[in-house]
Structure 1
Amino acid sequence: MLGLFVFLGVVGVLVLIRKPWRLTLEKVSSYIDQKFVGVEYSTGLLLLPKDELSNMAILQQYKISDILKENIHTIKPAVDIRKGMVTLLFFAFLSLISYQFSIMDYFGNASINNETQELVKFQPLDSTRANPSQPTITTQKLTIIHPSYTNLPKTVTSNMNIKALERSKLVWEVQFDTVIQGAYMEISENEYPMAKQEKGYSKQMLLTESGFYNFKFKDTDDATYISDLYAMEVFKDESPFIKIQGLKQFTSFDFSQSKMLYFKAELTDDYGVEDSYIIATVTKGEGESVKFREERLTFDDKLTSGSRKLVLSKKIDLDQMRMEPGDELYFYIVASDTKRPKANTSRSETFFAVIKDTLSGQFAVAGTMGADLMPDYFRSQRQLIIDTEKLIADQNKITKEKFNFTSNELGFDQKALRLKYGEFMGDEDVAIGPTTEEVREVDTESESNLLEEYTHDHDGNNEHNLVDHDHSEEGDNKSTDPLENYLHNHDDPEESTLFTASLKSMLRQAMAEMWDAELFLRLYTPEKSLPFQYRALKLIQDIKNSARIYVHRIGFDPPPIKEDKRLSGAIDKVNNYSKEERIEQPEEFPFIKKSVERLERLIASGSIPTLDDKELLVKAGNELASLAIQEPGKHLNTLQQLKWISERPVTSSFQLKEVQQGLLAAVPKLKPKPKSTKATESEINSLLLKELELHD
Structure 2
Amino acid sequence: MSSGYNILVGFKRKWQVLLWLETLLYGLGTSILIYALFSKILLAVLIASLIAGVLLIFTKPWKPSLKSAASYMDQHLDAIEYSTGLILVPENELSGLARIQQNRAGNILVEKYKTIQPPSHLKWSVLFFALCLGIGLFLNTIGIFPFSQNPVSPQNVSDEIVFIATDSSIAITAPPKLIKQELEIKYPAYTRIKSVITSDMDIKVVEGTKVTWRLEFDEEIKEAFVESAGNSYAMKFTDGIYFGGSEMSSSGFYNFKFIDLDDKVHVSKLYPIEVIKDKSPETQILGIKQFTSFEYKEDKKLAFRTKITDDFGIGDAYIIATVSKGSGESVKFREEKLKFSNLQIGSKDLDLSKEIDLDKMKMEPGDELYFYVEAIDQKQPQKNVSRSETYFAAIKDTISDTFAVEGTMGVDLMPDYFRSQRQLIIDTEKLLKDKSKLSAKEYKSRSNELGFDQKVLRIKYAEFMGDETEEVHAAEGDGDDHDHEEEHDHDRDHDEHGGHDEEEDPLAKYTHKHDHENEHNLVPEEEEKKKDPLEEYLHNHDDPEESTLFTQSLKSKLRQALNEMWDAELYLRLYKPEKSLPYQYRALKLIQEIKNSARIYVHRIGFDPPPIKEEKRLTGEIDKVHGFRKTADITEEDTYKSIRLALNRLQTLITAREKVEVAETDKQLFREAANELAIKAIEKPGKYLTTLQQLKWISEDVEIPYEALIELQQGLLQALPAMLPNAFKREQPLSEINELLLKELEINE
TM-score, L = length of structure 2:
0.49
Larger mean Cα displacement after TM superposition, 214-223 or 167-176: 214-223
2:411 partner amino acid: M
Provide the C-alpha distance between the structure 1 equivalents of 2:628 and 2:212, rounded to a whole number of angstroms.
66
Deviation at 1:350, TM superposition (A): 1.6
1:312 matched residue in structure 2: 352
Check 1:486–1:666 CA distance in 2 against 1; reply closer, same or farther (3 A cut): farther
SS in 2 for 1:144: strand
Provide the C-alpha distance between the structure 1 equivalents of 2:664 and 2:239, rounded to a whole number of angstroms.
40
2:534 matched residue in structure 1: 498
1:349 maps onto 2:389 in alignment: yes
Provide the C-alpha distance between the structure 1 equivalents of 2:285 and 2:379, rounded to a whole number of angstroms.
23
Query: What do you get for the CA RMSD once the two structures are aligned?
Result: 4.7
| Greater gyration radius | 1
> Counterparts in 2 of 1:295-444, with a 5 A limit?
295-299=336-340, 301-360=341-400, 373-374=410-411
> Counterparts in 2 of 1:156-167, with a 5 A limit?
156-167=197-208
1:587 maps onto 2:638 in alignment: yes
Provide the C-alpha distance between the structure 2 equivalents of 1:662 and 1:219, rounded to a whole number of angstroms.
32
2:253 partner amino acid: F
1:644 maps onto 2:697 in alignment: yes
SS in 2 for 1:487: helix
2:315 partner amino acid: E
Provide the C-alpha distance between the structure 1 equivalents of 2:227 and 2:721, rounded to a whole number of angstroms.
29
2:167 matched residue in structure 1: 126
1:666 maps onto 2:719 in alignment: yes
Check 1:484–1:186 CA distance in 2 against 1; reply closer, same or farther (3 A cut): closer
Residues 411 and 537 of structure 2 are in contact (CA less than 8 Å); yes or no, is this contact kept in structure 1? no
The correspondence for 2:668, drawn from 615, 628, 638, is 615
SS in 2 for 1:341: coil
Provide the C-alpha distance between the structure 1 equivalents of 2:550 and 2:323, rounded to a whole number of angstroms.
26
1:261 maps onto 2:312 in alignment: no
Provide the C-alpha distance between the structure 2 equivalents of 1:334 and 1:162, rounded to a whole number of angstroms.
33
1:249 maps onto 2:290 in alignment: yes
2:183 partner amino acid: L
Where does structure 2 lack aligned partners over 5 or more consecutive residues? 1-136, 141-149, 414-522, 559-590, 731-749
Deviation at 1:290, TM superposition (A): 1.4
SS in 2 for 1:127: coil
1:625 partner amino acid: A
TM-score, L = length of structure 1:
0.53
Deviations 1:97-135 (A, max 9, x none): xxx999xxxxxx998567651211111111113357332
SS in 1 for 2:676: helix
2:166 partner amino acid: L
The correspondence for 1:552, drawn from 585, 595, 616, is 595
SS in 1 for 2:361: coil
Provide the C-alpha distance between the structure 2 equivalents of 1:195 and 1:484, rounded to a whole number of angstroms.
102
SS in 1 for 2:669: helix
Check 1:279–1:645 CA distance in 2 against 1; reply closer, same or farther (3 A cut): same
Residues 146 and 153 of structure 1 are in contact (CA less than 8 Å); yes or no, is this contact kept in structure 2? yes
SS in 2 for 1:263: strand
1:596 partner amino acid: L
Residues 151 and 158 of structure 2 are in contact (CA less than 8 Å); yes or no, is this contact kept in structure 1? no
Check 1:123–1:298 CA distance in 2 against 1; reply closer, same or farther (3 A cut): same
Deviation at 1:373, TM superposition (A): 2.3
Residues 374 and 544 of structure 1 are in contact (CA less than 8 Å); yes or no, is this contact kept in structure 2? no
The correspondence for 2:648, drawn from 587, 597, 600, is 597
SS in 2 for 1:659: helix
Residues 239 and 345 of structure 1 are in contact (CA less than 8 Å); yes or no, is this contact kept in structure 2? yes
Deviations 1:187-221 (A, max 9, x none): 33333332223353222222233332222223343
1:217 maps onto 2:253 in alignment: no
Provide the C-alpha distance between the structure 1 equivalents of 2:402 and 2:320, rounded to a whole number of angstroms.
27
> Counterparts in 2 of 1:13-92, with a 5 A limit?
none
Deviation at 1:588, TM superposition (A): 2.2
Check 1:190–1:579 CA distance in 2 against 1; reply closer, same or farther (3 A cut): closer
Residues 314 and 377 of structure 2 are in contact (CA less than 8 Å); yes or no, is this contact kept in structure 1? yes
Provide the C-alpha distance between the structure 1 equivalents of 2:609 and 2:186, rounded to a whole number of angstroms.
83
1:373 partner amino acid: G
2:741 matched residue in structure 1: none
Deviations 1:151-190 (A, max 9, x none): 1100111110111112212111222233333332223333
Residues 310 and 348 of structure 2 are in contact (CA less than 8 Å); yes or no, is this contact kept in structure 1? yes
Where does structure 1 lack aligned partners over 5 or more consecutive residues? 1-99, 103-108, 364-370, 377-482, 508-538, 678-696
1:604 partner amino acid: T
Provide the C-alpha distance between the structure 2 equivalents of 1:674 and 1:250, rounded to a whole number of angstroms.
55
Deviations 1:542-586 (A, max 9, x none): 8999999986379x99745989989x9968899999977765432
1:356 partner amino acid: K
Deviation at 1:336, TM superposition (A): 0.8
Provide the C-alpha distance between the structure 2 equivalents of 1:327 and 1:361, rounded to a whole number of angstroms.
15
Provide the C-alpha distance between the structure 2 equivalents of 1:618 and 1:651, rounded to a whole number of angstroms.
16
Check 1:266–1:583 CA distance in 2 against 1; reply closer, same or farther (3 A cut): farther
Provide the C-alpha distance between the structure 1 equivalents of 2:602 and 2:648, rounded to a whole number of angstroms.
60
> Counterparts in 2 of 1:75-114, with a 5 A limit?
112=153
2:667 partner amino acid: K
Deviation at 1:233, TM superposition (A): 2.0
1:182 matched residue in structure 2: 223
Deviation at 1:487, TM superposition (A): 1.5
1:689 matched residue in structure 2: none
Provide the C-alpha distance between the structure 2 equivalents of 1:188 and 1:484, rounded to a whole number of angstroms.
87
Deviations 1:224-244 (A, max 9, x none): 221111122222221111122
Residues 186 and 214 of structure 1 are in contact (CA less than 8 Å); yes or no, is this contact kept in structure 2? yes
Number of matched pairs: 425
**Percent of aligned positions with the same letter in both sequences?**
40
1:288 partner amino acid: E
